Amino acid sequence: MKRIAILLCLILTTFLCSCGNPADKPKPSASPSPMVTPTPEQTEAPKPSEEPEATPQEEEAPEEPPVEEEPEEPPAPPQPQVIGKYTTKVLDANDGRLANMKLAAQSISGFVVDPGEVFSFNATVGEASAANGYKEAKIIVNGETQDGVGGGVCQVSSTLYNAADQAGMQIVERHDHGKDVGYVERGRDAAISYGTYDLKFKNVSDTSVTLQVIVDGSFVTAQILK
């Protein structure tokens, strides 16, 4: 029995030695992995990380020069208002008569009559004499028509009288001719004779008025403006 036990021990030891340590056995080689062809995207070199673009600084806009305000235009002066106007037709347009009427009209146009002031035709126009540049033309003397220096001046005074009356001026002095004159109705004329007959009217308004007389060859027009 003892021999049998020893023999079994020897057999067992031999068996164990022949088998060896399982860890020393070579491991089976792994199957080679199939070759994978990289795609073009995979072969590209990796791009460096992109840095965020720097935000450009906004340039400050140049300061605009201050806008100069245009100076305000002064208000337009008020236009003169016509408060009296009268026109008569020139019936005798000879050179001497027209020259006399224009000369008298120039002396009157632009004359200003202040409130309460009395306008005098003779004081403004002066004597219708040759020395003052007046010429001969038909005049009425004592109801008769005759040649004389200053013919035509009475048509200017008569036209101005009607304009002044229309404008509300107070008539201080006025005289009729000895006969009809034709360019105004009877009683609407104003005879002038320096030193004897005059045309006067007073400005009874509260504002100054300006006189204007225009002779255009066919008509005589007088205006009272304020």
Cα(90)–Cα(99) distance, integer angstroms = 12
- The tokens for 95 are 């050179």
Q: What angle do CA 221, 193, 107 make, to 5 degrees?
A: 45
Residues in the chain where the model's pLDDT stays below 70: 1-62
Query: What's the pTM value of the predicted model, to 2 decimals?
Result: 0.67
CA-closest candidate to residue 114, choices 4, 213, 203: 203
Determine how β-strand 144-149 pairs with β-strand 170-173: unpaired
Q: In Å, how far from its chain's centre is CA 38?
A: 83
The helix/strand/coil state of 173 is strand
pLDDT of residue 161: 98
pLDDT for res 68: 77
The tens digit of pLDDT for each residue in 70-103 reads 788 888 888 899 999 999 999 988 999 999 999 9
**pLDDT by residue (tens digit) across 183-194?**
999 999 999 999
pLDDT at site 42: 52
What's residue 23's pLDDT?
A: 47
pLDDT at 56: 57
